[in-house]
Amino acid sequence: MTAEAQAVRSLADLKELGLGTAAAAEAPKREPKRDALGRAYATGRRKDAVARVWIKPGTGKMEVNGRTAEQYFARPVLRMLIAQPFLVADRYNQFDVYCTVSGGGLSGQAGALRHGISRALVNYDPELRKILKAAGLLTRDPRVVERKKYGRRKARRSFQFSKR
């Protein structure tokens, strides 16, 4: 052991040497991930649905599978769900969204789109990660439908028992 290493016996000694929290706080800055057209891309998933999302600065236009979001997601609850990332990040009507969704039902597709928009926002502006993470929008919901087992009617439901 060197003499300097023997002298370091407590956290106070580490701070004096400059090896304390200041060194740990110097985390590398995240770089924005954008393509040549200035768009950020991300993939969102929920249940069986997968959403491929591109966002770019604009007026708030949203296109889902070639249709507007109002046409594709007729229920207001689903439209509210996909607007959450923009509202939490305080970026409502500042980005145009182009996406393709496939698999699952409308509810799962809206959840996948919300997840994809959140990840695309972080790729566009890494400073938003902390806000979106705290709101729980970057976490992929792992719940999926349980598979059907043999010898059963559904995943857990048995056939009706008949005594006679």
Q: Residue 77: inside a domain, yes or no?
A: yes
pLDDT for position 39: 92
**Is pLDDT of 2 > 70?**
no
What band does 79 get if pLDDT is binned at 50, 70 and 90? very high
- CATH number of the domain enclosing 53: 3.30.230.10
Q: Residue 147: inside a domain, yes or no?
A: no
**Is pLDDT of 70 > 90?**
yes
Q: Using CA atoms in the order 98, 64, 91, 114, what is the torsion angle rounded to 10 degrees?
A: -110
Q: Which of 100, 111, 101 is nearest to 47 (CA)?
A: 111
Q: Residue 159: inside a domain, yes or no?
A: no
Domain housing 71:
40-134
Q: What tens digit of pLDDT does each residue of 111-160 get?
A: 999 999 999 999 999 999 999 999 999 999 999 999 999 999 999 999 99
Q: Residue 84: inside a domain, yes or no?
A: yes
How open is the CA angle 68-76-42, to the nearest 5 degrees? 55
Report the number of distinct structural domains present in the chain.
1
DSSP code, position 36: T
Q: What tens digit of pLDDT does each residue of 103-125 get?
A: 999 999 999 999 999 999 999 99
Q: Residue 11: inside a domain, yes or no?
A: no
pLDDT for position 3: 55
pLDDT, averaged across the chain: 87
What band does 29 get if pLDDT is binned at 50, 70 and 90? confident
Q: What tens digit of pLDDT does each residue of 85-104 get?
A: 999 999 999 999 999 999 99
pLDDT for position 23: 47
Is residue 158 within 8 A of residue 152, CB to CB? The reply is yes
Q: Residue 87: inside a domain, yes or no?
A: yes
Q: Residue 24: inside a domain, yes or no?
A: no
Q: Residue 16: inside a domain, yes or no?
A: no
Is residue 78 within 8 A of residue 110, CB to CB? The reply is yes
